[in-house]
């Protein structure tokens, strides 16, 4: 099989494609012949040496893929060799073949081509598990999505909007914010020249938003709590603005608010399987109807992996970057 290997930690140039020994499925696992994978911000951190794979996971970067089932390990029910699928991975996606626990394998949603399906598992699982399963966003509530034009953001806006919530989002350019509005964001905020707390207050009669999906971490911690409504839930999934912030507990306490932080990759296999099953039940029908669609900025061959990482680092992308294998 072919896989992206890294010549040490460093910039995009450390990545190249090489021949490596085939991986084989163990009990409860399937092997997938990969059609495509997609770039996630965590991949950049792993390449730089800051985000090692969890114990037992492949050293090869890549948190999601689409493809065809090539082999079944023992004790796998419900899948056949040849099935077209997509999968949530703990690693190993930047390769022509990957093994994954069967519970993290999902059918390709109807109406989505096999390559584009690679752009769905990580964003769908992150958004669904955090915004809906953890924060319990209700159709009558509001959601603030930071970084609405990113892979996570474009999916979160569509899903929350389809489920009836009022969606606020931040972004860095007017073009990106226009795209967010087209995806269903009701209120768009340019984080470079507007104060999101003030805009949220102005547009909610001072009440604040019920749920915040945050990619910035420390930099926005205090302001996110200010922007929360009574009984609001702040879910932190990223640390693009640092890891150590200061929290005014009295402000959180007065709001009876919650601050939650989660990581998908390190969760036990059974939890990931439950998230995937919930996705197929609740989110796949919306994708099949075209109400929620993966937003793909560009599709590049796996050999261009360094250029794909450089593109994500530039911040010029809108939505996902897909790599075909
Ligand atoms: N915890 C988990 O399980 C989990 C899982 C998946 C992803 N994540 C995290 O989710 C985040 C998004 O991932 P992704 O793959 O969607 O990456 P991405 O496509 O590169 O998106 C990053 C986003 O950050 C935005 N951004 C940059 N500076 C900002 C600021 N000051 N205020 C608000 N937004 C800002 C960018 O907005 P502009 O482009 O408009 O500048 C862009 O939309 C990352 O931090 C990633 O690590 C966490």
Kindly report, residue by residue over 247-275, the tens digit of the pLDDT: 999 999 999 999 999 999 999 999 999 99
Choose the residue to mutate in 146, 147, 159 for probing ligand 1, maximizing ligand atoms within 8 Å of C-beta: 147
- Among 44, 152, 234, 260, the mutation site with the greatest number of ligand 1 atoms within 8 A of its Cβ is 152
Q: Which of 240, 260, 279, 297 has most ligand 1 atoms within 8 Å of its beta carbon, as the pocket-test mutant?
A: 240
> Residue 285: pLDDT band by 50, 70, 90 thresholds?
very high
> Ligand 1: which atom is nearest the Cα of residue 217?
45
Residues with CB under 6 A from ligand 1: 40-42, 122, 126, 146-147, 149-153, 170-172, 176, 191, 215-216, 237-238, 240, 262-264, 312, 315
Atom of ligand 1 nearest to the CA of 126: 5
Please state the atom number of ligand 1 nearest to the C-alpha of residue 40. 15
Ligand 1 mean position, distance from CA 271 (Å)? 23
Confidence of residue 282 (pLDDT cuts 50, 70, 90): very high
Give the residue among 121, 116, 160 at the shortest CA–CA distance from 141.
Answer: 160
Domain 124-261 grouped into CATH 3.40.50.720: yes
pLDDT bin (cut points 50, 70, 90) of residue 197 is very high
Report the C-alpha gap between 92 and 64 in whole angstroms: 8
**CA 210 – ligand 1 centroid, Å:** 20
Total residues belonging to the chain? 325
Q: What is the mean pLDDT of the chain?
A: 97
Average pLDDT over residues 300-305: 98
pLDDT in tens, 88-137: 999 999 999 999 999 999 999 999 999 999 999 999 999 999 999 999 99
Q: What is the pLDDT of residues 199-253, one digit of tens each?
A: 999 999 999 999 999 999 999 999 999 999 999 999 999 999 999 999 999 999 9
Helix 41-48 and helix 305-314: axis angle, to 10°?
110
Q: What is the mean pLDDT of residues 33-50?
A: 97
Rg (CA), the chain: 19
* Atom in ligand 1 nearest the alpha carbon of residue 312: 20
CA of 243 to the centre of ligand 1 (A): 14
- Residue 113: predicted pLDDT: 98
Domain ranges of the chain: 2-120+268-324, 124-261
100: how many CB neighbours lie within 10 A of its CB? 27
| CATH class of residue range 2-120+268-324 | alpha beta
Q: d(Cα 37, Cα 32) in Å, to the nearest integer? A: 12
DSSP SS3 for 261: strand
d(CA 177, ligand 1 centre) in Å:
14
pLDDT digits (tens, 9 = 90+) for 57-66: 999 999 999 9
The reported pLDDT for the residue numbered 160 is 98
Give the H or E element holding residue 85.
strand 84-88
**What was the pLDDT predicted at 211?**
99
How would DSSP label each residue in 278-299? Answer: HHHHHTHHHHHTTSS---EEEE
User: Which protein residue's CA is at the shortest distance from atom 22 of ligand 1?
Assistant: 150
Burial group, residue 283, by CB count within 10 angstroms (0-12, 13-18, 19+)? buried
Which of 150, 224, 245, 298 has the most ligand 1 atoms within 8 A of CB, as the residue to mutate? 150
Kindly report whether the global pTM for this prediction surpasses the value 0.75.
yes
Cα distances from 127 to residues 101, 148, 264, in angstroms, run: 21, 12, 10
Residue 151: per-residue pLDDT: 98
Position 99 scores a pLDDT of 98
Residue 129 DSSP symbol:
I
User: Which residues, listed in sequence order, are joined to residue 213 by a DSSP beta bridge?
Assistant: 145, 235
Give the Cα separation of 262 and 265 in Å (integer).
9
Residue 62 CA from chain centroid, whole number: 12
């Amino acid at each position: 099989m072919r896989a992206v290997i890294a010549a040490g930690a460093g910039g995009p140039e450390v990545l190249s494609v090489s021949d490596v020994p085939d991986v084989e499925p163990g009990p409860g696992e399937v092997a997938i012949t990969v059609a495509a994978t997609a770039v996630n911000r965590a991949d950049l951190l792993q390449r730089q040496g800051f985000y090692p794979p969890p114990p037992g996971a492949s050293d090869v970067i890549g948190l999601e893929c689409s493809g065809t089932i090539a082999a079944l390990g023992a004790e796998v029910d419900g899948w056949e060799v040849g099935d077209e699928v997509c999968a949530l991975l703990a690693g190993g996606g930047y390769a022509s073949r990957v093994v994954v626990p069967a519970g993290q394998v999902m059918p390709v949603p109807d109406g989505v081509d096999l390559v584009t399906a690679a752009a769905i598992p990580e964003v769908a699982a992150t958004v669904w598990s955090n915004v809906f399963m953890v924060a319990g966003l209700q159709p009558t509530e509001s959601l603030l999505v930071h970084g609405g034009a990113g892979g996570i953001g474009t999916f979160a806006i569509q899903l929350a909007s389809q489920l009836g919530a009022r969606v606020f989002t931040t972004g860095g350019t007017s073009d990106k914010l226009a795209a967010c509005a087209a995806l269903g964001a009701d209120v768009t905020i340019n984080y470079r020249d507007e104060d999101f707390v003030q805009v949220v207050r102005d547009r909610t009669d001072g009440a604040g938003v019920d749920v915040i999906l945050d990619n910035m971490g420390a930099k926005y911690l205090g302001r996110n709590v200010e922007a929360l409504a009574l009984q609001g839930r702040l879910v932190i999934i990223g640390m693009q603005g640092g890891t150590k912030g200061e929290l005014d507990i009295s402000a959180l306490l007065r709001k009876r608010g919650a601050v939650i932080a989660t990581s998908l990759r390190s969760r036990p296999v059974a939890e990931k399987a439950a998230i995937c099953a919930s996705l197929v039940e609740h989110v796949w029908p919306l994708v099949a109807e075209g109400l929620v669609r993966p937003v793909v900025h560009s599709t590049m061959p796996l050999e261009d992996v360094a250029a794909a990482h450089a593109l994500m680092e530039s911040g010029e992308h809108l939505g996902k970057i897909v790599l075909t294998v």
